Each structure stands twice: as structure tokens, then as C-alpha cells.
Homo-oligomer: A and B are copies of this chain.
Amino acid sequence: MTDRHTVVFQPSGSRGEVPGGVHLRSAARSLGVEIESVCAEIATCGKCLVLIEDGTRAGVASMIDHVTPMGPAERDFLGKRAGTWERMGYDTDRLRLSCQARVCGDVVVFVPERSRGNRQIVRKEPTDRAIEVRPAVRWYYLELDPPSLEDPLGDVERLAAGLIEARARIDTGAEPTDPGEITVDLPVLRRMAAVLRGGDWKVSVAVRKDREIIDIRPGYHDEAYGAAVDLGSTAIALYLCDLTTGEVVAAESMMNPQTAYGDDVMTRITHQMMDPDGLEALRSAAVGAVNTLLERAIGDREAADVLDVVVVGNTTMHHLFLGLTAQHLGTAPFVPTVQRALDLTAGAVGLAVNPSVNVHLLPIAAGFVGADTTGVLLAEEPHRRDEQRLIIDVGTNAELVLGNREELLCTSTPTGPAFEGAHIEYGMRAAPGAIERVGIDSATLEPSYSVIPDPGGEPGLAKGICGSAIIDAVAEMFRVGIIDAHGRFVEGIESPRIRRGDLGWEYVLAGEEETTIGRDIPITIQDVRQVQLAKAALYAAARVLLREAGLDRPDEIVLAGAFGAGIDPTHALLLGMIPDCPVEAVHAVGNAAGDGARIALLNRYRREEAAEVVGRLRRVELPVDPEFQQEFLAALELPHATHSFSSVGPLLPDA
């Protein structure tokens, strides 16, 4: 077989031609995509599992029979485990072992997170915050009197009476409850009789909100974990917490597998609308990913000890996770199906824990101000402060909240994908090999940069630029005078780094010898434009909020989100991306949405607070705001056409 076929690996998008007959796993490696394997390619470890896309994707007509049919070993291996993978959300008809399937036509292959050899670093670490631990679920150990002919009370009634007695003894501060108000759902009812008798009437019960029995075990048991889940469009993070100590016992994250259907929420909404099975595919991808993270985080612990789950995410992620249509989130007036906080069972949602466990989703303020923003509010607490705090959660879409204990305003604006490294010539996510920090020497115009280490690669070699580095680079180019306030390359500067490329003027950040891709990595005039458009949208949104609040500037600016953590505050100010504010009053807080999920997980009363705060948010609609367009146009200039940026005054080219 000497014919050649186009092969694309998702979600990385790596693409190339390979000769027919090559194993998918070898093809992947030849294109720089690492796929796991433990069993030396004899179809017994299953680490190299991939999904064959069916239909036209990434411009390639990919069919299931564009790879060779299964042999007996692969058929046997996959057949035996079909149930497991189905539960994990995989479409089993499309599953193949990449060490067995050979290319025999053009094909698009999705490599699930579990199979990737070189997993991406996702900057979603739980930050240290003091959280008062008052969980929704706790264990009670009860020693009950066995029934007798004189006392033949039903099991539930006996247990409820015992629980109320124990609660009073422990004094949990719970409201008094009638035994009749203690609830038990059907799965627990079904095993209750056996557990009570197996434990000789000494049992532990997991009780939610002081009155819902969601688990029962013989004897003494006190392990209780909860999962805080942050459903990002790009990455999904899960923090497994000990519900007694509040400690994070495991933090796991992975790329959102929905990226196979589109990098941003709008393309996923489009996918849902175009494909009749699209919503279910997106839902099961998200639920499957959370189940994968749960499995990893649980490790050697008992899955049955996971007794509570809290989920945050933007409105689209929230809806897709629950199987609610996201269609109406894509067009005005951007109406969600539901805004309020939801309490659903793990069974209904499809999470692989005890089906009686509650899954709490924080409330949503609006179509584009989602439960992730609610999480940020819980973590940042502007409603408890006097200072006027501007909180910006930056991503493909930016959500902004401004205010203090008196009033809270919110809005959102699409910023385009530039901040996430997309639509940038050599842009990439914050993954190994990405340039993440950039400085430019004002005398020599020579750059200095740092690269996210690639465990498998040569240290220091770059393969692209991530969002924070693009901000750095454009801000530095402005500061040292390579570009002017209009974002144009200043003519007549002598530097080997500045040249005319195919797309117009560009500044060479890394020469080909400094890269793993064998090509120069420049910042192009187009890249500068993308940054201007993105920062102008963000700035204009902030201005409208300030105007609504009757303020000239905020007292503090909080940059939330994984991307926000990477932004250099000085550079953000230099670009005029955020309103003027003392540099030392600009803070990056990392994954505040995830922190908010953890707070809500560990303290049930903070969930009520979240609902209350979201109810008080005043939403400012930018598309209907007459000044937004004007602000946007003026903000295209660096740092701004009319507003002064005194905070970084000495650094400005004019200074």
C-alpha cells in the first residue's frame, strides 16, 4: 500500500499525510501526537483507545471504514468492556485501539484525554482560601434498639427516630425535624433492611441537609468526600475535597472533550443546532469527562464515599452538561432555560457516584453571565466589601462584575479567542512548548521569553505563543515603540527582528533554531489587530459598567480565570485592556470560579448566599447600550484614544 491519506488528530488538530497501512498510533506519533500504550501494541491494555470520527470534520471526509476492520483480539478486548466505556460517555461504535487500526483512507481521529501520552497542563489549581467547613452531607453513627414484637416499628421509622435523637445529642444546630420529614430515596430504601440487620442495628447514615438519608453502611463509617467541578469551555477541573476537614485530597483536570465539536461555546452551540444528536454528544462528552476526573481523583478511595457534588460553568457549559438546549444562548435575547440554582441527583445527571447524591449547580445571572461568575462572586465576595471592585473573568468571553455591598452590576462581552491563543498566527493554548512570558529590551529591541516546560522536549524550545504571552508581546512592542498607538508598525526602525512577512509587518519573537517547529515564530500585524479588538471590547464593557455605577475608576481590579492568572497587570494597563487603576490594586486570583465551587461544596450556607447575591446582580446589556460602540471604537487605540492611564504613565511611549 503506497497510497497516502490525510489523517487529523483531535482535539489538537494535528494533521498530515501518512502512507496507507500505518497503525493509527504510529501515524499519531509521526504527527507529534503521543498516544498511551502499556501492552506493547498487542490489544490488551486499552490505553491507546481512540474514536474514529464519522462524517466530514476538519475538512476531511472521515468514515469508520477508512481504517482497517477489527481483528479478533481487538474485537474481543473492546467487546468485553463496551459497557464500561458506554457509561463513560463514549460512542462504542466509533471506538478503536490505535495500536490495531490501520489507516486505509482519510480519517479524523479523536484522542480522548485518557489516551493522551502527553497530557496538557491546565492551570486550574485550587488556591488557598480559608473556608468555613459546614458541609451539606455528614455521617451519623447510630446504635438502634432491634425491633421486637412489642416494638415492631418499620426500619425507616426506627432509623429516623434514632437520627433525630443523635442529632440532638451531637447538637448540629439543625432545625428541629419531625421523624416524618426525614426522607430516604428508593435506592437506599432497597438496601436498608439488609444493612440494618447486617450491622446488627449499628449503622452509619450519610445525611444531607440534616434530613435526607442518602447512604447507609453497617457499623461505623465516616469517610465523606465531595467534588467541586469547574466546567470550563477549554478545561474541566475537579477538586475532590474531604467534607470533614475541607482539605483538597485530589485535584484533577483535563481538556474539555467538547473541544472536538468546537473550540468555543458558539461553535458548540452551532454543532448542537446542526446535528440532531449534537446535544446528546456534547452532554455525554462533558459528563464523561467529569466521570473520568472523578475516577482519577477517587483513586484508591471508595467511589461510594463521594457524597456531594457542586458544579460551576458558564451558561452554555451548564446547559450542555445537563442536556438542556444551548440553542437560545447563541442568539439574542440569549435566554437560558433556567437561572436558579439546581439540585439534581447524580443518577439523573449521569455521574458515576451513588445515584442518590445531590448535584448542586450554582445559579446563573444571565445567558452570558453564568454559574462560573457566581463561583467567582462567592470566592471574591464583592458584596461583603466597601471598595468598588471590578472583577473580570477573561476567556473567549469576558464576564465583568463591578460593585460593592451596596450594588453589584454585571455584564459580559465576547472578546474573541485571541486571549486564548486562537486566531493568532502561532497562537496555542497554555500547554508545554508555549511561550508564556515576553519582555523586549527597549534599547536593542531583542526579546526575552520563557517557555512552558515540555517534559518530552528540549528545554526552552518553543512551538507557539499562548494568550498571556501575546498580551506581553504586544504591550512590550508598544512600550518600546515598535508599534504606535494605532497598533501600526512604526516605520524606519532598524532591527533584524522586524520585517515584512506574508501577512504584512511582523516582529520575530523566536527564530527557527529556537523552535520545535523548524520555523520562526513572529507576532504579526494581524495578531496585533486581534489583540486590539479583544482588549477594546473588554475595556468598553468595563467603561459601561463604571458609567452605570457612576464611577470614574474602580478601587481594585481582580483578574479571574486561568488566563487572568497569566496576565501581567502592567501590560494589561499598558494596552488599555482594563480601566486605569494602581498597578498594585490589580490582582490575579486564578481559578476563582473553581474556588467558588469548592466554597459552595464545603459550606451549604454559602449556596444560599450565592443565590441571594445573584438575585441582586443588576445586568447591563451591552448590545442595547448606545455608548458601548463608541467606547469600543475609542478603546481600539493603545492604551485609549481619550482616557489617560496615569497608573502606567512613566512606561508609556509618550512619557
Contact = CB atoms under 8 A, between A and B. Distances in A.
Interface of A: 147-157, 180, 184-186, 189-190, 192-194, 197, 322-325, 327-328, 332-340, 344, 348-349, 364, 366-367, 611, 619, 621, 623-624
B624 A152 contact: no
The residue among A194, A335, A349 with the most chain B CB atoms within 10 A of its own CB is A335
B190 A323 contact: yes
A156 B337 contact: yes
Contact of A340 (B151, B157, B621): B157
Contacts of A619: 152
A80 B137 CA distance: 46
A322 B157 contact: no
The residue among A193, A339, A611, A624 with the most chain B CB atoms within 10 A of its own CB is A193
Top 7 nearest A-B pairs by Cβ distance? A154-B339, A156-B338, A152-B333, A154-B336, A147-B335, A149-B333, A155-B337
Given A189-B324, A194-B325, 9 more contacts: A148-B333, A149-B332, A154-B340, A155-B336, A155-B337, A156-B340, A186-B323, A189-B337, A190-B324
Nearest to A155: B337
Contact of A339 (B153, B335, B349, B364): B153
A157 B151 CA distance: 48
A189 B332 CA distance: 20
Contact of A154 (B147, B150, B337): B337
A193 B328 contact: yes
Contacts of A322: 186, 189-190
Given A180-B340, A624-B149, A335 B189 contact: no
Contact of A337 (B192, B348, B611, B623): B192
A158 to B, nearest CB: 8
Nearest to A335: B147
A152 B623 contact: no
A338 B186 contact: no
A152 B621 contact: yes
Contacts of A186: 322-323, 344, 348-349
B154 A364 contact: yes
A334 B151 CA distance: 10
A348 B194 CA distance: 20
Contacts of A332: 149
A193 B621 contact: no
A338 to B, nearest CB: 4
8 contacts: A149-B624, A152-B333, A152-B621, A154-B337, A155-B338, A180-B611, A186-B348, A193-B327
Contacts of A325: 190, 193-194
A338 B152 contact: no
B623 A149 contact: yes
The residue among A148, A152, A156, A334 with the most chain B CB atoms within 10 A of its own CB is A152
A620 to B, nearest CB: 11
Contacts of A157: 338-340
A180 B366 CA distance: 16
Contacts of A154: 335-340, 364
Nearest to A347: B348
B149 A366 contact: no
A93 B155 CA distance: 36
Nearest to A334: B152
A335 B149 CA distance: 9
A119 to B, nearest CB: 32
Contacts of A184: 338
A655 to B, nearest CB: 42
A126 to B, nearest CB: 29
A286 to B, nearest CB: 15
Contacts of A349: 186
A364 B184 CA distance: 16
Given A194-B325, A325-B194, A156 B189 contact: no
Given A157-B339, A184-B338, A338-B157, A152 B193 contact: no
A410 to B, nearest CB: 13
